[in-house]
Each structure stands twice: as structure tokens, then as C-alpha cells.
Amino acid sequence: MTVWLVVSILALMLSPLAWLRPSRKQSEQMNLRLHARRMGLAMQLAPQKWPHWLEHEPPSPCPQYHRGRRKGREDTWCYWQVSPGLWCNTWREPCEDARLMACFSKLPASVYKVEADSRMLALYWSERGDAAVLQDIAHTLDTLA
């Protein structure tokens, strides 16, 4: 009887340690983020105000993968993926730039938004996928930077 009492007390004392262990999803996200870091991509959780016309509102803050732009690139744009393969700007006009669409077509459906300003190119993504998806994202950011 005392053995069972001691074992149950030890189990009760050690059970909070199991809560400190990251879940499978958290471990996969960390591995993906570390792999992205090795590829030269930077990542941060960025708060976003999503347009009301999106079918499914993405999370906020959302994982943002970004890369600096090359000097001399002054074009600014922002496109949201309304449905898989359909990219629209702020005024809900479809993307007609062939160069952008060639890059966007390689992105998975779990990418919410891609935007560029004079300093940085950013991509907002749900972090669902494997290293192959990350390769496509890195290639897109490299091409558009």
C-alpha cells in the first residue's frame, strides 16, 4: 500500500513536467523555422488586419517569412490568395502581372498574402507543409526580391 502511495505522489509531482514538452505541431513548426533560417529566410509573428472579404480569416498574429529586397527595386504591391490560385489586390482585382503569377502559381494554398515594399518582401503562411513547400517559398522570395 505504501509503495502505491509513494508512486502516486511521485507521479503527481512529475506530471507538470510533461506539460513543458512541446507538442508535435510545435516541434514541426520549430524544425520548419530552423530550416528556413538555414536557407536565409527570416521569420517573425506579425499582427495583421485581414480584409473582410477573405473567405477564411487567417490567424493574427500570423507567421511572416521575409527577405530583404535588392537595391533599385521600388515597386510596391500586396496580394492576397482568395482561393487556391486566385490572387487579388486590395481592391479585389485579380493579379495580371505575368511575372508575379508565375511565382504565385508555385506557392501552396496555405499562403495567405505576399507583399513587397522598397525594403522587404514578405509572405504570410500557415506553416503547413514540409521542406519542399519551404523550398518553393524560398524560391519565390528569391525570384521576387
pLDDT tens, residue order, the chain (145 aa): 788 888 788 777 777 777 778 888 888 888 888 888 888 888 888 898 888 888 888 888 889 998 888 887 778 899 999 888 889 888 989 988 888 899 888 888 888 999 998 888 999 988 887 778 888 888 888 888 7
Only one residue has cell 509573428, namely: 45
- Residue type for position 85: G
| CA pair distance 97, 99, nearest whole angstrom | 6
- Asked whether the CA dihedral 33, 34, 38, 44 is positive or negative, the reply is positive
Residue ranges of E strands in the chain: 42-46, 62-68, 77-83, 86-88, 111-116, 120-125
> Residue ranges per domain, the chain?
23-144
